[in-house]
A and B are shown apart, each in its own frame.
Chain A
Amino acid sequence: MTISNGDGDSAAKDGRRERKRKRRAEPSLVKWKTEGEQKTYSSKLIEALRRVRRSSATGAASAATDHSRSRAVREAADRALAAAARGRTRWSRAILCGRTLKRRVLPRAGRPKPVGPARAAERSKPPALKTKARVLGRLVPGCRKLPLPSLLEEVSDYIAALEMQVRAMSVIAEALSAVGGAPSPAQTEGPI
């Protein structure tokens, strides 16, 4: 449709282009703050916690240390959080892939990056920023070798997601400590 209709057509084209650009832009951070997202995450987390409880009970119940249990809880929480991201971010995909990069010591990890001989002039970022950016990249799963703009996008999304995770886990902990005060199983069959 190449008929130039004056303002109407160009405005429509701009609208479409604007929408196209927005869709390819960074994932919105707003969703991590909505109540709906937090509730969905909380229910998924509760189900995962039940599984953790069940698996640690059927295994060596007395040998299950507090540390291994809390680590299992942490991993379940992180995996549920990554699933909530629906695969649109690197950190979430890295977590769902089992975070193998973080746990395994890569042979290349210790070697310092070789400075390109002719590229020195192009490096306009001061080294202080580079170091800090590298530290930041290590804190976010799956984001070690990311260039700065993509890294910062991942970081913003990761931070927003973590904040929701903290809120949701606090609510669940409060609810559990209020409800689960009676450890005896007989009381759980109460009138509900």
Chain B
Amino acid sequence: MSGRRSRSRQSMSPSITDEQINDLMAKLQAVLPEARLGINHRVSAARVLQETCSYLRSLHREVDDLSERLSELLAMADISGAEAAIIRSLLM
């Protein structure tokens, strides 16, 4: 096929257009939880980036808290074979 256009080569142009930026920001906004930005389409790119950073930090914090909780639970009682089976059945 002669029509092989590689997308990655296009994005390596020296300046990125405003339209591309808006497009990317819209995609990123779709990933963020709605409570952060609302369904407002007129959020600035800087705001989207900022909210993304703060959302990432809060996710990291949540994982850290859960790791702490899990390590405490692990310290209390090992996951024996029976318990692992119970947990797996709970997950199924």
Q: How many A-B residue pairs have CB under 8 A?
A: 177
Stretch at the interface among A72-80, A94-102, A105-113: A72-80
Are B53 and A43 interface neighbours, CB within 8 A? Answer: no
Q: Classify the secondary structure of B's interface with A.
A: helix
Instruction: Check A74/B63 contact, CB under 8 A, given A53-B78, A159-B55.
Output: yes
Question: What are 9 A-B pairs at a CB distance below 8 A?
Answer: A122-B14, A124-B18, A129-B45, A132-B49, A132-B53, A139-B53, A155-B56, A175-B86, A176-B83
Task: Please give the residue numbers on chain A whose beta carbons come within 8 Å of chain B beta carbons, in ascending order.
Answer: 13, 16-17, 20-21, 24-25, 29, 39, 42-43, 46, 49-50, 52-54, 57, 66, 69-74, 77-78, 119, 122-125, 128-129, 132-133, 135-136, 139-140, 147-150, 152, 155-156, 158-160, 162-163, 165-166, 169-173, 175-177, 179-180, 182-183, 185, 188-190, 192
Task: Please give the residue numbers on chain B whose beta carbons come within 8 Å of chain A beta carbons, in ascending order.
Answer: 1, 3, 6-7, 11-12, 14-18, 20-21, 24, 27-28, 31-32, 45-46, 49-50, 52-53, 55-57, 59-60, 62-64, 66-80, 82-88, 90-92
